[in-house]
Amino acid sequence: MLQKISTHSGLNMRQVGGALLVFLSAVCFSSKAIMVKLAYRYHVDSVSLLTLRMAFSVPVFLIVGYLSKANKGEQHTEINAKDYFWLVLMGFVGYYLSSLFDFLGLQYITAGLERLILFIYPTLVVVLSAIFLGKPISRNQFIALGLTYAGVLLVLVGDVHTESQANMIKGGLLIFISAVTYATYLMGSGQLIPKFGAVRFTSYAMTLAALGVFAHYLIAGQHHLLQLPMPVYGYSFLMAMIATVAPAYLLSEGIRMVGAGNASIIASIGPISTIILAYIFLGEQVSFIQMVGTLIVLAGIILITLRKN
């Protein structure tokens, strides 16, 4: 009996520990939009800011990726050339394009609205799976989709008074494209993570994405990274460590401990966390209608996630 109680207690502690890691990951991820908006106050362009973020992040990903290469405990099948091709593609689509469109969109809309639009990616996975993989959408999923997009529209209506309509549409569209590319990445990565392992896959994908960002920076010809105001470097470093490296590995470990479905539900705190942080650090005001819209979106996301389990 004592052994059963001890085992049950250990399981609960594992669940609590995993849930805490996912929660911290979501809060860290949500801080990215805040740091981007703070850095934009110094008139830095989005490509330079994204390049600095990756420049500070990639050494850590390279080191962790190298160290994890020796540990093949998560790897269950042989990795072939085709797997590496898809890894390159997922890194390009999921992190490079998604980050680029996200940074571009944040020039035009509030941090709270950015996180809310970006967070509809679970519903996009359902839609894309129906289109490209032939997976039918259930009645509950249709309800969840309706709730999610109705909530986003409600928040958009609430933002009309604080953003110009042209900027809001442009920024919202850019963030939506970011969400689509991230949802595409999630669809493709499901087959690769069991082969590479979560930590190794994350390290490789982020490193490949960084190479894409560096190439973009060189092609764009904006060679002034050493001439930016000092606070921009500080925000870029914090963005790399707190909002990129730490949450990536916290989330991987959290998923291992509590499962992807539970992690998705816990990570729903992301939009609310961004709204609170934006209020504290950016002075962004939140209306009642925006909060209602946010709660409706979260209800739709949770319904989608529960249905998938």
Longest dimension (CA), the chain: 69
135 Cβ partners below 8 Å, 6+ apart?
A: 126, 129
Task: For residue 291, give Cα distances in angstroms to 158, 186, 303.
Answer: 9, 28, 18
Count of CB atoms within 10 A of residue 161's CB?
A: 8
In this predicted model, what pLDDT tens digit does every residue of 75-106 receive, in sequence order?
556 788 888 998 898 888 878 999 999 999 99
Dist CA 270 CA 267 (whole Å): 6
User: What number of CA atoms fall less than 13 Å from residue 285's CA on the CB side?
Assistant: 9
Give the pLDDT of residue 42. 95
Give the pLDDT of residue 237. 97
Residue 159 has pLDDT above 70, yes or no: no
236 Cβ partners below 8 Å, 6+ apart?
A: 39, 49, 52, 53, 55, 56
Dist CA 294 CA 158 (whole Å): 11
Dist CA 13 CA 244 (whole Å): 26
Give the chain's length: 309
In this predicted model, what pLDDT tens digit does every residue of 173-203 receive, in sequence order?
999 999 999 888 877 777 787 788 878 888 8
In this predicted model, what pLDDT tens digit does every residue of 196-231 receive, in sequence order?
887 888 888 889 999 999 999 999 877 788 889 999
In this predicted model, what pLDDT tens digit does every residue of 259-305 receive, in sequence order?
766 777 788 788 888 888 998 999 988 778 878 888 888 888 777 77
Q: For residues 143 and 196, is the Cβ–Cβ distance under 8 A? A: no
Nearest to 248 by CA among 64, 90, 55: 64
Mean pLDDT of 30-59: 94
